[in-house]
Amino acid sequence: MARLLRVDMTRREVKFTDVPEKYALLGGRALTSRIVADEVPPTCDPLGRFNKLVFAPGLLSGTNAPSSGRLSVGGKSPLTGGIKEANAGGITSQKLANLGIKAIVIEGKPAGEGWFLLKITPAGAELLDAGDLAGKGTYEVTAICRERYGSKVGVITIGPAGEMLLAAAGVTNNDPDGNSSRYAGRGGLGAVMGARRLKAIVVDSPKTFDAPVKDPEKFKAAAKKFTAILRKHPVTGEGLPNFGTSVLINVINEAGALPTRNFSAGRFARAQAVSGEKLAETAVARGGKATHACHPGCVMRCSNVYPLPDGKVCAPIEYESDWALGPNLEIGDLDVVGRLNYICNDVGLDTIETGVTLGVLMEAGVIPFGDGEAAIKALEEVGRGTYLGRIIGSGAAVAGKVFGVTRVPAVKGQGLPAYDPRACKGIGVTYATSPMGADHTSGYAVATNILKVGGYVDPLKPDGQVDLSRNLQIATAALDSTGLCLFVAFAVLDDPEGLPAIVEMINAQYGTQLTLDDVTELGKQILRTEREFNRQAGFTKEHDRLPEFFALEELPPHNTVFDIKGEELDQVYNF
């Protein structure tokens, strides 16, 4: 019987409760956003006592549905001031699902300066003192917890950035090898966890794939079908398994949409040096791995294990991190990118927000563009809590204010990811209108604009982008509720059997009769819930806009501007 685990940090009490009927068929983002909307006052201070932090495995997590180990984390974001869901791979989602935990809801704030650890085992849950873990990086925390509680445990933790309540702080958990690098990075949820003085959650479960399934035979058949669909598609069956996500560096660079030098150009002269191909070659040559699965049962295995020259291992360097800490800063050196990425992981920062922030600092002249060593030196200050370190950890919008920079690529306070909206206009619509702030994962129009998956919409023209983004945002919201990795969407968009197979798995697991329309309706409902929360938090259509400079400055090489009008952007929510 699935339960909610409620943790009251003010009273330091944990309790399991029944799952309300209305939450029974929600998981992942659908559940975190619903609980946040039901329980968090939209105007509350994200770091104050009324915010909550919610963890929820997806509907299919903990089964042997392929690539279904995403963990959703939700709350009110200190970065955007709106609702936030960020999800990550890693091993804890499956473990929580196997423990029958539908969601963990962390609320309140303890008095005093103590730090706590939430330990969850098949026997129950308890809050332990974690004073000895305070101030430690995520790698060390994870290593200590695996040493202390067993090498198979999943460890959800924050780094010093989250403890310092920095708005770019993420929440991480570990992969099967103990690498603490699977981040629900975006939106500062690490600071929300830090504000509750919860340093870590240790999840100990002997099971991975044994979440209850009502009709195992039917489930097995659907899962098998879905696996075959993933293996058959060129992106999920070949591109990602062979080169990982960073294969996109060359692709997006070729498309002229790789944001370079803080969104000043769409091509980077040294893109090849930080490409996925180069990454795979170097990783393997150093005894690392070109591909790697972030959780058991993933068939795409799009991660990697990149040994750094100093003996540390950055696992993985994902495309977005590679871009944010590479081309965006005019840095064309994978070892520098890897070192920056490692520091972000350890101190507990979102790599995208951090890269965008460093780009803003370079725009301001604080650090020279292309100077990797200066960037590393600056980033190392975050852990020391210096003034510069705190500015970096506060994200791009705050850094832009502190340094009087007008070229700040952020929407709703969140930095833009790795696709320039002037050369990939569909993703620009998603950046502008997603309730999450600038977020590529919430409606990945790059697929159709550039990868020609799910059809083709010319990335340089405004036509069709609003419809494209709307459909993807709806589908993605639903997908984010299943625990399936977003990357299955490549196959699902192209294969008419893809979505039915997902619905079959859900129906087999829960004994339901959901239709494809029900899934679409779920996606719409999630977006409506999130948007309503934001409306009540004070957001209007004026917040659904890109920064001014994208409409004013032409982006080489295509020399296009973002020319989708506000009234058109407002049509995204016309459903």
| 539 contributes a contact to a copy of itself by CB under 8 A | yes
Write the DSSP assignment of 239-253 as a string of letters.
IHHHH-GGGHHHHHH
Map the footprint of a copy of itself across residues 182-201, applying CB under 8 A. 191, 194-195
Q: Which is nearer to a copy of itself, 487 or 539 (CB)?
A: 539
Count of alpha carbons within 13 angstroms of residue 229, beta-carbon side: 25
Chain-centre distance for alpha carbon 145: 23
540 binds a copy of itself (CB under 8 A): yes
Name the residue among 223, 22, 81 with its Cα closest to residue 543: 81
Calpha distance 515→79 (Å, rounded): 36
**β-bridge partners, 75:** 84
Residue 110 and residue 423: Cα distance in Å, rounded? 48
Q: Phi and psi dihedrals of 356, rounded to 5?
A: -65, -40
Q: Quick one: which segment of 280-288, 383-391, 464-472, 481-489 binds a copy of itself (CB under 8 A)? A: 383-391
What is the four-CA torsion angle of 418, 420, 421, 426, rounded to 10 degrees?
-60
Among 536, 561, 570, 573, binds a copy of itself (CB under 8 A): 536
Asked whether position 401 contacts a copy of itself by CB under 8 A, the answer is yes
Grouping H, G, I as helix, E, B as strand and the rest as coil, residue 406 is coil
Q: Toward a copy of itself, which CB reaches closer, 51 or 481?
A: 51
Q: For a copy of itself, how many residues bind (rule: CB under 8 A)?
A: 40
Considering only the stretches 211-219, 302-310, 327-335, 387-395, report the one whose residues sit in contact with a copy of itself under the rule CB under 8 A: 387-395
Dist CA 450 CA 457 (whole Å):
8
Q: Interface with a copy of itself includes 402 (CB under 8 A)?
A: yes
Q: Please, which of residues 437-456 interact with a copy of itself by CB under 8 A?
A: none
**Alpha carbons 230 and 248: distance in angstroms, whole number:** 19
45 binds a copy of itself (CB under 8 A): yes
Binding flag, residue 554, a copy of itself (CB under 8 A): no
Position 435 contacts a copy of itself (CB under 8 A): no
Contact 506, 51 (CB under 8 A): no
Residue 403 in the binding site for a copy of itself (CB under 8 A) = yes
* Binding window for a copy of itself (CB under 8 A); candidates: 83-91, 172-180, 217-225, 538-546: 538-546
Q: Kindly tell me which residue out of 86, 184, 388, 475 binds a copy of itself, with binding defined by CB under 8 A.
A: 388
Using CA atoms, how far residue 412 sits from 125, 187, 281, 431, 543, in Å, is: 36, 10, 38, 9, 6
How many CB atoms sit inside 10 A of residue 537's CB? 19
Query: What is the contact mask toward a copy of itself in residues 1 to 40, using x (rule: CB under 8 A)?
Result: ----------------------------------------
- Rg value, the chain, Cα: 21
Distance CA 376, CA 370 (A): 11
Residue 258: HSE in the Cβ half-sphere, 13 Å Cα cutoff: 32
- Identify residues 408-427 at the interface with a copy of itself (CB under 8 A): none
Residue range at the interface with a copy of itself (CB under 8 A); choices 88-96, 282-290, 466-474, 540-548: 540-548
* Minimum CB distance to a copy of itself smaller for 394 or for 433: 394
* Binding string, residues 60-99; x marks residues near a copy of itself by CB under 8 A: ------------------x---------------------
Residues of this chain that interact with a copy of itself (CB under 8 A) are 42-45, 47-50, 78, 164-167, 191, 194-195, 386-388, 390-391, 394, 398, 401-404, 406, 536-540, 542-543, 545, 547-549, 552
